[in-house]
Amino acid sequence: MTTKFVACQSSLVYAADFHPLRGSTMKAKIRTHRDLDVFVKAFDAAMALFELSTCFPKEERYSLTDQMRRASRSVCGNLAEAWRKRRYEAAFVSKLSDSEAEAAETQVWIEFAVKCGYVRREKAAPLYRTYEEILRMIVAMINRPQFWTLTRG
């Protein structure tokens, strides 16, 4: 998806999106963190990871299972915090960096789950790739914070 964002003084950000799969230009209103494509993708991935981890052994309940779930949920939590801190570019980027780190950590836990034999590689690979997409989206926001942060007028 190619997106051009324009920051404004209100809490509303307008985006002209060209989605390569849909092949059309559309205007999206981003009012809350829940409207961010990266948040939706991260939330869905965290829920998929939760479902995947329900079949892990009980002895992993307070280790791998807990770490995977916490890291994946933290991606979303940090995105929400970043959105609320977009008045200050440094704070915004800092929370996005935290979200980036949690997404990368989630990938590590997915790799451990495969190596430990708790999940088949074929089942884990799509989720791992989803976190690659999430990471790309977060890094794009970090690299262009001026399109996301609020300007003072």
Contact 116, 64 (CB under 8 A): yes
Do both 10 and 54 map to the same domain?
no
Residues 59, 63: Cα–Cα separation, whole Å: 8
Model confidence at 27, pLDDT cuts 50, 70, 90, reads: low
Do both 45 and 89 map to the same domain?
yes
Cβ count within 10 A of residue 79: 28
Model confidence at 143, pLDDT cuts 50, 70, 90, reads: very high
Three-class SS of residue 80?
helix
Assess if residue 7 is contained within a domain. Answer: yes
Assess if residue 117 is contained within a domain. Answer: yes
Number of domains in the chain: 2
Assess if residue 27 is contained within a domain. Answer: yes
Residues 64, 124: Cα–Cα separation, whole Å: 15
Assess if residue 77 is contained within a domain. Answer: yes
Reply yes or no on whether the pLDDT at 1 is more than 60: no
Instruction: Output the six-digit token pair for 89.
Output: 């570019």
Do both 42 and 26 map to the same domain?
no
CATH of the domain at 72: 1.20.1440.60
Contact 5, 146 (CB under 8 A): no
Do both 37 and 22 map to the same domain?
no
Assess if residue 37 is contained within a domain. Answer: yes
Assess if residue 153 is contained within a domain. Answer: no
Do both 23 and 64 map to the same domain?
no
Residue 109 structural domain: 33-147
DSSP states of 99-144: HHHHHHHHHHHHHHHHHTTSS-HHHHHHHHHHHHHHHHHHHHHHH-
- 92-120: per-residue pLDDT in tens? 999 999 999 999 999 999 999 999 999 99
Considering only CA atoms, which of 143, 144, 150, 152 is closest in space to residue 13? 150
Do both 26 and 57 map to the same domain?
no
Q: What is the mean pLDDT of residues 119-145?
A: 97
Assess if residue 152 is contained within a domain. Answer: no
Instruction: Output the six-digit token pair for 19.
Output: 């989605």
